[in-house]
Amino acid sequence: MAEALLTIEHLKIAYSPTTPWVVNDVSLALQPGERLGLVGESGCGKSTIGRAIVRLLPEGSVVEGHIHLAERDLYQLSDRELRQFRGEEIALIFQDPMTRLNPLLTIGEHCLETLQAHRPGISTKEAKTRALEVLQAVKIPAERWAQYPHEFSGGMRQRVAIALALLLNPKLIIADEPTTSLDVTVAAQILQELQRLCEERNMALILISHDLALVGEYCDRIAVMYNGQLVELGSTTQVLQQPHHDYTQALLQSALSLQAGVSSSSEPLPTPEPLLRLRSLKQYYTLEANLLAKVFSKADDRTIRAVDGIDLEIYCGETLGLVGESGCGKSTLSRTILQLLKPTAGQVEFLGQDLARLKRREMLRQRRDIQMIFQDPHACLNPRMTIGESIADPLLIHQMATPQSAKPQVEALLQRVGLHPKKFYDRYPGELSGGQQQRVAIARALITRPKLVICDEPVSMLDATVRTQVLELMQELKDEFELTYLFITHDLWVARFFCDRIAVMYQGKIVELDQTAAVFDNPQHSYTQTLLAAAPMLQMDCA
């Protein structure tokens, strides 16, 4: 066997000398060109290992054991060697692209800065040519060169982050949940591109993910982490077909249950009047035509039709799934419904009222009945507020309770979402796992007893077992609280598992709308067919 590219020996990591090991005695090796999937629940230590390899752990962390790239001990590198090492030898793709992107730099400036920092002799023209080639590979058009990160959707920002990782042709890429915010078609394109680069350049890949189907499709081997330890390691076929550890077996069972879609209903849900009705709804943006944009763009029309004439009805008690690629307008639609963005044209009717016509105070009252659960619970919870304070906050904002009368309501709801009040009420978001944070976000959304809950990728950052638990909780709460869900997701198997109807969105329009079973069994639109074909599936044929 060839000499290993990466060797990890008896690695132990703690975030301070007084805290327990978050990674406990992990050893593994990675060959040049090999693709390793690192899976496990949130908080198991998989991202910590990724950051340890590139020496990006927080100050004060304790690291024992050894990490070698080829024969170089990575913890013996000088600061100067470390700057060259990051990017040229190993590149890290973060889960949240905004942690990698400077909001004050354009996308083009990010690319040029990266190339010129590592290749001082490269000309600006050569650097721009190289950057445009890589951006094109991840489907970022040249005319967006001069735009800033905030002008991109979450999925588009992730593509930029991946492009930056590929610019310097590293020997190893560590991709930490790189496709969490991407739809299945774009995720497939990017992972296929990473797979191609691994094969052509003998580049290794560590794919950190909670998506077993994704890892199973693109990785040669799978390493399963649980509670800081490596509990299973083997070829993809071996781990998926003959898992040995109880946790691996539970993870597989949860993923297969989601994939089977056993929870969703195919029965129609007719009611006399819809709870929410969208009429010819439009949300348009016009890009500023600066000099670079004019040079790179051949189009005269610089209007982005994020939401382009949508007609849609959502009925009381149903779960409507909204699926589509990143940048298709899903999140823009949700923010327009909430009137966080005023529509360019059209109407948003909630309980028969046109929300666009309401005054600010009236709209604030209306938001008691329309709440939102976001993709990243950590980002929407104030790190300086306790869990109890965060959940009580909407009650105080809407003057529905005093601090004293809010507390028993918060405690009851904490108990209902599976978080013991005595244990969690006075804790802070940073002390909770991803699944626990999402339960807090759900409690915060439900505390005002809303009629409609807009869920924007609420389980995309959770591993399969926690995801199933949260979805089952949301289903129970839907029945108990008489909720209606608009469920935005790029995960088709989650949509199949959870939704009554599915609306497929493409380039600002709804191109298909039907009962969940009909969409999966007999998709009508070519884009829906493409989505379904691209969705990774666990193959459990043991033959």
Whether the model clears a pTM of 0.85, i.e. scores above it, the answer is no
Q: Which band of pLDDT confidence, cut at 50, 70 and 90, is reported for residue 177?
A: confident
Can you state the percent helix, strand and coil of the chain, rounding each to 5? Answer: 40, 25, 35
Q: According to the model, what pLDDT value does residue 290 have?
A: 57
For 365-404, the pLDDT digits (tens) are 888 999 999 877 877 899 999 999 999 999 999 999 999 9
The secondary element (H helix, E strand) that includes residue 279 is strand 276-286
Amino acid identity for residue 268 in this structure: P
> What letter does residue 75 receive in the DSSP assignment?
G
Per-residue confidence (pLDDT) for residue 147, from 0 to 100: 93
Please check the confidence at residue 153 and state whether its pLDDT lies above 80. Answer: no
Residue 449 neighbours by CB distance under 10 Å: 13
One-letter identity of residue 527: Y
| Cα dist from 89 to 34, 164, 201, whole Å | 15, 14, 13
Q: What is the dotted CATH code of the domain comprising 32-57+76-258? A: 3.40.50.300
**φ, ψ (nearest 5 deg) of residue 470:** -65, -40
Q: By mean pLDDT, which of 1-5, 84-88, 318-322, 428-432 is the weakest?
A: 1-5
Element (H, E) at 453: strand 452-456
Q: 3-class DSSP state for residue 58? A: coil
> What value, to the nearest 5°, has the Cα angle with vertex 533 and ends 529 and 534?
120
Helices (H), 119-183: 124-137, 154-166
What is the architecture, at CATH level 2, of domain 315-345+357-534?
A: 3-Layer(aba) Sandwich (3.40)
- Residue extent(s) of CATH 3.40.50.300 domains in the chain: 32-57+76-258, 315-345+357-534
At 223-277, the pLDDT tens digits run: 999 999 999 999 999 999 999 999 999 888 888 877 776 555 444 444 568 999 9
